[in-house]
Structure formats: structure tokens, C-alpha cells
Chain A
Amino acid sequence: MAARHNRPQSLRHRDIGLSDEQVREMYYYILLGRALDERMWLLNRAGKVPFVISGQGQEAAQVGSAFGLDRDRDIVLPYYRDMTMVLAWGQTPTEAMLGSFAREGEPSSGARQMPGHWGSKRLRIVSGSSPVATQVPHAVGLALAARMRGEPTVAWVSLGEGSTNQGDFHEALNFAGVHKLPVVVFVENNKYAISVPESRQIACAHVVERAASYGMPGALVDGNDMLAVYEAVRGAAERARAGEGPTLVEAECYRLVPHSSDDDDRSYRSREEVEEARKRDPVAVAASYVREAGVLSEEEDAALRERIRREVDEATEAAEQAPQPSPDTALRNVYAEGGAGAWQ
């Protein structure tokens, strides 16, 4: 607790309107996301879960986003690396693990989708697919609906930098710009689209340069810095809520692990490059901040990590013990049930 008595006079998080408690909560989700992700890799290598798609290196960007939005009102369309985002948005570690094990009760899809395809109407998380960028026009449509109803809801949608080359990205941002809709488009630039680096994906220096052509502002932020991301996303959301239209936010991150559990990144990038990126690992950056800002002591940090380890253990155990989905569920929910769609 000694650190708290010596804390600096000016604290970045207070300057941007975050309480100590909020910063501790953000830090908790960053640690939780990383710990859960690491456990999923172990389970995969142990042969217990078939597939992992990872968000390691993007946790601070995701938590900064979640806290920059109104978590009681806004609607989010995450992509498959956004586990830490959806944890901060209300999904539980057990729910994420049910997805990894593909077990009954998996809330996003009933274990129909691969892991990472988040969804929950109750939590305002729109179900996503694997073709990239298809979610961006959906976000624009949700924003259109909010404006038609006069609701101050903002739609937040994320994607990787490679996905910004899709036509749907262009069509959706143009639509949002023309109609000045309340959307925050959040690009998690992790520098790789599977094996292809950013330099072979886009011809401009930054994705965010594209914003001008859609008549919207763009914000480039350090994705390893949860406070910078928070500030950018909160600003974009406020702008959207005030009726001023969409914003493109690009968070610069680095994908610390292979594309997925089926990928081997040694074939396309050097270990030196990855080690260099690890020096700016968002988990370490957040840990330094909470310590230096005096919002969490060393003992509290250790206790928090212990709590998270227990939570990950419990989630793993609960998911592993859950039954497989019953085969007859595969035929359900093709159409509304009981109506004309019950045909066949």
C-alpha cells in the first residue's frame, strides 16, 4: 500500500475522467483476457480443444474500447479476436470456454460456430461470422435504426487492418459518412493478415487515412495503451451521440502469437521481431501504469492474478464438464419455429 502514499500529483487516468476503481477494473479485464487466452492455447496443445483464435497483444485496445462506450446502452459488433472486449462487455470466462470446448449452453451460437464468434442479444453483442468485414454494414444499419428511433445508442464495430480492404468496409463507411450515422469503426491493426504484413495490405501509411474519403475524422492511437484507446473511443462515441456522425479509430497493436492454433508464424516473421514487440506488450504496459500511478500495490496485483487464475480454472472445469450439444439441436432455428418456416 506504500505506493499509494507516494503517487504522482497528476494522473493520466484522472485527467481523462477515469476513477482509480475504473482503472483497476480495466486492468483486471486485460489480465483476465490474457490468462484465458493462454489457457486456451494450453488446452489446444493438450488436445482438449480443437482450435484457438487469439487476441494476445490486443487486450488494451479492446478494454479501452469497452470502457469508452456506454456499456448499458451501446451495441457492439466484435470480431473473432475480441475475447477481452466481450469479457469487459459482460460475457463470462465460462461462456468463452464453452465456446472453446463447443459444449451445450455456449451462448453465442449453441456451439455451432468456431470459437471467437461472439454474440448475445441480451448483452447487445451482435453475432459475427468468419467472412471478414461483413459486420461493418450491420453496424451502420443498427446505427440507422437508432437514429430513426431517436435513441442515443452508438454502434461500435471492430475489424483487423487486412479486413479494411474488403468492399464491405468501403461500402459501409461511405454509407455511414453520407448519412452521418452514430458508428465507431474500430480497426485493431495487429500488423498481420495471417502471414501478409501491413505493407502488403494497404498502400497508405495508416488505415486511418481512409477516413477523410468517407467524410469522417480518423484517430490513430497506441493500441498498447488502454488510456489512449479509451480517450479516442469515448471521444468518437460522444461525437456519434451528439449527432455528428461516424469516426474511424485505428489502434496500433501487434499480434503476439500465430494467426490461430493451426498457424506457424515462424515461416513469415522473425523471432527478433516478435521479441521486440513483446517489449510493448499491453499487459506489461498496463501493469506498469497501475503500479506507477499507485492504483494497485504489488500485493494487490498478486492477489488479483491469483483470483484470475482461479476464475480461469473454474471456467475450464465448468466447460469441460458440460455435455456436448444434443445432435437434434443441429436442426433447430433455421427459420422461426412454429410458423410457415417449419416446412421440412
Chain B
Amino acid sequence: MAVKSYIDAVRDTLMDEMRRDPRVFVMGEDVGKRGGVFRATMGLIEEFGEERVIDTPLAESAIVGVGIGSALAGLRPVAEIQFADFIWPAMNQIISEAARLRYRSNGDWTVPLVIRAPYGGGVHGGLYHSQSVEAHFYHSPGLKIVMPSTPYDVAGLLRAAIRDEDPVMFLEHKRLYRLIKGEVPDDDYVLPIGKAEVKRQGADLTVISYGLALHFCLEAADVLAQEGISAHVIDLRSIKPLDRETILEGVRKTGKVLIVHEDNKFGGVGAEVSAMIAEEALFDLDAPIARLAGPEIPAMPYAPNLERFYMLSPEKVADAMRKLAAF
């Protein structure tokens, strides 16, 4: 079994899928000769040519809109938005078009499109290269949103996304691209979209997270284990659909819940997870639901100390876990 970085898992899976299925192609800014600004499409143009690795004009609504059109024709486009921060011009295409075409045609027209976008901070990206965008999309029925945290999950979920019959937003935390390595089987495995994973079994409190923050939670859980506090850690992996069963099972197991995400708190994914728990498992709780998230400012500042102020860390997560455990 090969050990790969997160970014290599993205690229190798794109390559595998393009070899497997001639309908699959990639399009976006700098995805061709440059191989992507993060190198996620490196080597693809050499193997598949510029017909299937398309350098597009710098215009996000067209990247998504032309992708939708080719998906309507039965192709399997993977459209790259270079930074999630630049996805807003495509919002109308994603929400009004991709998410609604199946519904508005009563199942006649469908959009098997994947939109890949690097998101997240901790890379000295300032206000416009650090944002978490997921909350703006997870309100819209018709979309699926995947946010993997490991190379193994990247490969299995990107395959699932490309083979899905509906539009899938595949959000990759850019800090993880070269930070995280992990074992990735060579076989053609597919992970189901909408299934969370219990990363660590524990008895004292349940921590629910995704993306880079999930790794901080696991580090914090190691520290707390030495202090005699046992944490049950869930990686959501997909935020839409949400894995209701795994979340509620985790709640019932410990009675204490901490939700951790880099995106700011108000109206974030944690709000929906909290509401679901309150509706369905209130009497299993032994403490108020806790959330640890980014501060309520528009985006992550550039200055290193201000960026550190915004970003979560294992220490911040450990503090929140200790506080909840002591309740």
C-alpha cells in the first residue's frame, strides 16, 4: 500500500478516473500546462491532452456553467475553482442551476458535476486565500458537499463524487495538501458520500469535526488521554448529507458534545449539527452543546499573529475539551 500526501491522492485519483472513464475530464484555471497552482492536475495534460485537461478563461461562472452543460450532455466534468474564495461569481450557476436542474426538470435532466475547490487557512493567504465557504452552500438542497481530511478519504470520496449522479462540491483543505500523508490502497475503492467515520473511540466526551480541524482534535485527544479524559472523535467527511446515525450514536455514548470547525460559528455547520442533536437527543445530553469555531470576523487576516489568532490549534481544542469534560 502506497503512502501518499493529500494532494497526491487528489491527482492520482483524477488520473485513475480519467483512465477508467473517457467521459471524465478536468477544466479550470491553470489546470493544463501548469498542472494547477497547487499541482493537483500535474501530469494530466501530458497523458490526456488538452481536450480533456482544459485551461479555461479566468471566469468562474463559465467554469461551472460550461461544466454543467457538459454534464447535461452526459460527460463527467471535474471543474476546479482555483481558490474557494473565488467561487462567488459561480454562485448563481451552483445554486440556481446545478443544484436545481434535476428538481426543476422533475428528474429529466441531471448534472453529474464535481466542483473541486481548495479552501481554508493557515497558509498566509489573507482574507481572500483562506476562506471556508461550506456554510454558504450547505443550505441548498440538490448539492452534496464532501470535505475529506485524509489521503485515504480523498481517494475514496473523490471516486464517489465523480461517479455520483448529482453535483458534488469537493472541498479540499489546502493546508492539508502537503501536511498530511497516509496510506492509500491501490485498488478502486469507493467511500459512500454522507458517511462519517469514528476516528477514535472514547467515553467521556464526543468531538465532531472535519477537515484540518479534525487533525487538531485528534492531537488534542491524545493529550487529554494522558490526563485521563477519553474522547470519542468523529470525522464528518461529508457535511451534506450529514451522517445522522453516527452523530447521534456518538452523542448517546458520552452525553457531551463539542463541535469544532475553522469556519466561523454563526450559521455554520455546527449550528445544524447542534440543532439536530437538540431535536433528536436532548435528553441524552449531560452538558450544553459546545462549539469551537473561527471568530465572527469576515475572513482570516494576513499578519502571522492575526492569522494565528483566527486559526484553531490542538491547544485551543484541548482547552475546549477540558472545559466540557469538567462540566
Spell out A's residues near B (CB within 8 Å). Answer: 75, 107-110, 112-113, 117, 119-121, 126-127, 129, 131, 134, 136-146, 148, 155, 167-168, 171-172, 174-175, 178-179, 329, 332-337, 339-341, 343-344
Is B241 a contact partner of A344 (Cβ separation < 8 A)?
Answer: yes
Number of chain B residues close to chain A: CB under 8 A: 48
Q: Which residues of A contact B102 (CB under 8 A)?
A: 333-336
Contact of B69 with A by CB under 8 A: yes
Residues of B within 8 A of A108 (CB): 105
Once bound together, how far apart are the Cα atoms of A182 and B141, in whole Å? Answer: 33
A109 CA to B109 CA in the complex, in Å? 10
B73 and A145: CB pair below 8 A? yes
Q: Is B165 part of the contact surface with A, judged by Cβ < 8 Å? A: yes
Q: Which residue of A129, A146, A171, A175 is within 8 Å of B96 (Cβ)?
A: A129
B51: chain A residues at CB < 8 Å are 148
User: Bound state CA distance, A120 and B72, in angstroms?
Assistant: 12
- Smallest beta-carbon distance B300→chain A, Å: 27
Taking a contact as CB atoms under 8 Å apart, the answer to whether B166 and A137 are in contact is: no
| A144 in contact with B61 given A109-B104, A333-B106 (CB within 8 Å) | no
Known: A127-B105, A140-B62, A145-B73; 18 extra A-B contacts, CB below 8 A, are: A117-B104, A121-B105, A126-B72, A126-B109, A127-B108, A136-B65, A137-B65, A137-B93, A138-B65, A139-B69, A141-B65, A141-B67, A141-B73, A178-B57, A179-B54, A333-B103, A334-B102, A340-B194
Q: How many A-B pairs fall under 8 Å by CB?
A: 150
Decide if A137 touches B106 in the complex (CB within 8 Å): no
Chain B residues with CB under 8 Å of A171's CB are: 57, 59, 61-62, 65
Known pairs A127-B109, A129-B104; A134 contacts B66 (CB<8 A): no
Asked if A145 contacts B69 (CB within 8 A), the reply is: yes
B29 to chain A, nearest CB (A): 12
Q: What are 26 A-B contacts with C-beta separation under 8 Å?
A: A113-B104, A119-B104, A119-B108, A127-B104, A129-B97, A131-B92, A136-B65, A138-B65, A141-B65, A141-B66, A141-B73, A142-B70, A144-B69, A145-B73, A145-B74, A148-B25, A148-B75, A155-B69, A167-B61, A168-B92, A172-B62, A175-B62, A175-B66, A337-B107, A339-B164, A340-B192
CA–CA, A334 to B100, complex, Å?
Answer: 8
Contacts A112-B103, A141-B71; is A134 near B241 (CB within 8 Å)? no
Minimum C-beta distance from B310 to chain A (A): 31
Given known A-B contacts A126-B72, A146-B73, A341-B166, A138 and B97 have beta carbons under 8 A apart: yes
How many Å lie between the Cα of A136 and that of B68 in the bound state? 11
Q: Is the CB of B92 within 8 A of A134?
A: yes
Residue of B nearest to A122 (CB): B108
CB pair A175–B93 under 8 Å, yes or no, is no
B217 to chain A, nearest CB (A): 24
Q: How far is the CB of B89 from chain A (nearest CB, A)?
A: 7
Chain B residues with CB under 8 Å of chain A are 25, 51-52, 54, 56-57, 59, 61-62, 64-75, 77, 89, 92-93, 96-97, 100-110, 141-142, 144, 164-166, 192-194, 241
Task: Determine if A145 and B62 form an interchain contact, defined as CB atoms under 8 angstroms apart.
Answer: no
Q: Which residues of B contact A107 (CB under 8 A)?
A: 108
For A121, A145, A171, A343, the residue with the greatest tally of chain B CB atoms inside 10 Å of its CB is A171
Distance to closest chain A CB from B109 (angstroms): 5
Residues in A with CB closer than 8 Å to B69 are 137-145, 155
Nearest A residue to B109 by beta-carbon distance?
A: A127
Bound-complex Cα distance A119 to B57 (A) = 29
State in angstroms the CA–CA spacing of A112 and B101 once bound together: 12
Complex contact B141–A334 (CB within 8 A): yes
Q: Once the chains bind, are B104 and A168 in contact (CB under 8 Å)?
A: no
Could you tell me the distance between the alpha carbons of A244 and B100 in the complex, rounded to whole angstroms?
Answer: 33
